[in-house]
Amino acid sequence: MKPNLALWLVCASLTATTASRATITVDGTRSAGTETEYSQLAVQAHTSHWGTNNALANIHAAQTGKLLNLLIAGRADGNAILVFIDSKPGTGVSSIGNDLIRSGGFESDLNHLAPDTGTGMTFETDFQPDYAIRIYGAGTAAYASLFDLNQRIRVDLGQVDNATASHGAVAQLRAVWTNVGADSSTYGAAVDGVEMALNLALLGVPEGVQNVKIMALLANENSTYGSNQSLASLSTSADLAGAIRTVDFQAESGTQALTIPVDRPALVAGDDEDGDGLPNGSDPSPLDPARNITFSVNMQVQAAKGYFAPPGAVTVQFFTGTQPALSPLTLTDPDADLIYTGTLVNAPGFAGDSFGTYKFTTSAPLMPNGGYEYGFDRTFNLGPAGTTQTLATAFFSNDATLSFADWSTANGGGLSADQDSDGDGVSNGVEYFMGQTGSSFTANPPLVGGVVAWPRSPLATGVVFSVWQSENLTSWTDVTASADKSNPAFVKYTPPAGVAKRFVRLSVAVP
């Protein structure tokens, strides 16, 4: 049985200048004879305990214009390399929490580096990564994901072994897996692995001479197991194993994060750095494509249950994502239909990014759960920049229907469908069907233009209705088959002409 494998990479400092303007082909292979811009940062000292198909060999780096190029030579098979990037001081994370990644799917890929509660792996002092890139290997195949550690979201970059992937700050990324030598004496010659080009400006690196720091980890599939390798090498060749969650790099001897000096050039006015169709010179946010996002929520069921009534406020509470510190968005209902809407202006992020997580809330005093809707946090992926993204109307707590029992508890005194709780001559069941509150007089609809039309609430569920007619109020005939049910908001019936007197009524049976 193949062991549950993982591999650590931690790097020494790059001392050579990286301001070259040459071009590096991102194809998963370092072409030693032509790509001379690369500088070797470190070579692995410990031989991998897990064989030639799971080993870290060496690291190379270079700056080519506005890009930072990295080549991490090695291989992962059934495991995943995680590359942590500290692109700017003071904004990243100092340790991994169980719920660090909250949106985008496969949160455990990173969250498993921590216990179920509290924090796990701790980075060394002055290393606070803003991003992580995960490359999972399966045979010769490789799949990549990008994590924004500040926004706490994940973006899938897809399969990267036979084509380069790009998204946001990742200008290009590709992986080529070939077995690494049998012991550490061969690691310096390895040229295949994970190669990437990172846009320095989109990483958030300030203009001018700066430092970018990286640290990479090759973890097992679900990030719970560590190996005996790192760069620069760990002080012992013993496996980290399950203790990967408790690793504190502040206590590890030597410098464990790689510092890369870069000189981030100024933006060129005619370029489109963030790819939103606006040139840098005319783009108010050249590093963040943006769009407006319209939210809407239907409060009709909550009102019918007696939990909500205007002027109770309805808001969107944001938790993580493109603007994790965003203030709640207040929604309004100008046409008084209990559907509340509002627009978030200039929400940044690249198309396809997970927006993050949010919930609808209300200040209505009778609303349970502290005013927060029940259910999982909501999320969605960002649409194209430069245009309004209108989300589908959601029901608060996903309550899209209203049972008669809930209606009767709130509006009908808990009485049955055939009873008349408010004494207006209209049964509870009919009032429920018509979408009435049951707390005031409900009039039967009159004959208008020769047609009787009963309102039909879209919230009523499980009802069976019948239309009846009579000439004497004693003998009734079921004429439901002749009723017009084509409009979901009404049930209509047209009495036959030529009769001097005709009575019509609606009956409703509920589960």
In tens digits, what is the pLDDT along the chain, a chain of 511 residues?
A: 333 333 333 333 333 344 444 579 999 999 988 999 999 988 888 898 888 999 888 999 999 999 999 999 999 999 998 999 999 988 999 999 998 998 888 999 999 999 988 889 999 999 999 999 999 999 999 999 999 999 899 999 999 999 999 999 999 999 999 999 889 999 999 999 999 999 999 999 999 999 999 998 888 999 999 888 777 777 788 887 888 899 998 888 777 888 999 999 999 999 999 988 889 999 888 998 999 999 999 999 999 888 999 999 999 999 876 666 789 999 999 999 999 999 999 898 999 898 989 999 999 999 999 999 999 999 999 999 989 999 999 999 999 888 888 888 878 888 888 888 888 888 888 888 888 876 667 778 888 888 899 988 888 888 899 999 998 888 999 999 999 999 988 999 998 887 777 889 999 988 7
Same domain, 376 and 462: no
Residues near 293 by beta carbon (within 8 Å), at least 6 away in sequence: 343, 344, 347, 355, 388, 389, 390, 391
Domain CATH number, residue 346: 2.60.40.10
Q: Which two tokens stand for residue 122?
A: 């701790």
Q: Is residue 445 part of a domain?
A: yes
Rounded CA separation 420/473 (Å)? 19
Determine, yes or no, domain membership for 105: yes
- Domain boundary, last residue among 218, 246, 264: 264
Residue 283 counted as domain residue: no
Q: Are 229 and 7 in contact (CB under 8 A)?
A: yes
Is 447 a domain residue? yes
- CA trace torsion 99, 103, 109, 111 (10° rounding): -10
Q: Is 308 helix (H, G, I), strand (E, B) or coil?
A: coil
Hey, what amino acid is at 115?
A: P
**Domain limits for position 359:** 290-398
Pick from 398, 424, 459: which residue ends a domain? 398
Residue 448 sits in the same domain as residue 492: yes
> Does residue 335 fall inside a structural domain?
yes
302 and 233 in a common domain: no
The C-alpha atoms of residue 480 and residue 172 are separated, in whole angstroms, by 65
- Helix (H) / strand (E) element for 431: namely helix 428-434
In a domain, 308, yes or no: yes
**How are strands ordered across the β-sheet holding 356-362?**
329-331, 314-321, 356-362
Cα–Cα distances in angstroms (integers) from residue 213 to residues 86, 132, 361, 417, in the given order: 5, 12, 40, 69
Helix (H, G, I), strand (E, B) or coil at 150: coil
Shared-domain flag, residues 299 and 187: no
- DSSP per position, 22-85: -----SSB--TTT-TT-EEEEE--SPPTT-TTSEEEEEEEEEETTEEEEEEEEE-SSEEEEEEE
**Are residues 424 and 461 both part of a single domain?**
yes
Dist CA 24 CA 35 (whole Å): 6
Transcribe 161-196 into DSSP letters. SSS-EEETTEEEEEE---PPPSSGGGGGG--BEEEE
Handedness of CA 93, 97, 103, 105 (dihedral sign): positive
For 489, counting Cβ atoms within 10 Å of its Cβ (0-12 exposed, 13-18 middle, 19+ buried), the class is: exposed
Q: Report the number of distinct structural domains present in the chain.
A: 3
**Are 59 and 187 in a shared domain?**
yes
68 with 174, same domain: the answer is yes
Q: In degrees to the nearest 10, what's the CA dihedral of 117, 121, 126, 131?
A: -90
pLDDT in tens, 130-177: 999 999 999 999 999 999 999 899 999 999 999 999 999 999 999 999
Q: Cα separation of 432 and 423, whole Å?
A: 15
Kindly give, in sequence order, each residue whose CB lies less than 8 Å from that of residue 304, ignoring residues fewer than 6 positions away: 402, 406, 407, 410, 411, 435, 437, 459
Please tell me whether residues 250 and 304 are part of one structural domain. Answer: no
The structure's pTM equals 0.77
Same-domain check for residues 377 and 230 = no
Residues 6 or more apart whose Cβ sits within 8 Å of residue 370 = none
Please tell me the distance from the alpha carbon of residue 140 to that of residue 163, in angstroms, as a whole number.
13
Instruction: Decide: 260 and 269 in contact? Cβ < 8 Å.
Output: no
Question: Tens digit of pLDDT for each residue in 366-389?
Answer: 999 999 999 999 999 999 998 999
In a domain, 135, yes or no: yes
Do 247 and 158 belong to one domain? Answer: yes
Residue 2 lies in a domain: no
User: How far from each other are the two terminal CA atoms of the chain, in whole angstroms?
Assistant: 56
User: Is 123 in the same domain as 257?
Assistant: yes
Q: Indicate whether 241 and 112 sit together in one domain.
A: yes
By the 8 A CB rule, do 85 and 132 touch?
yes
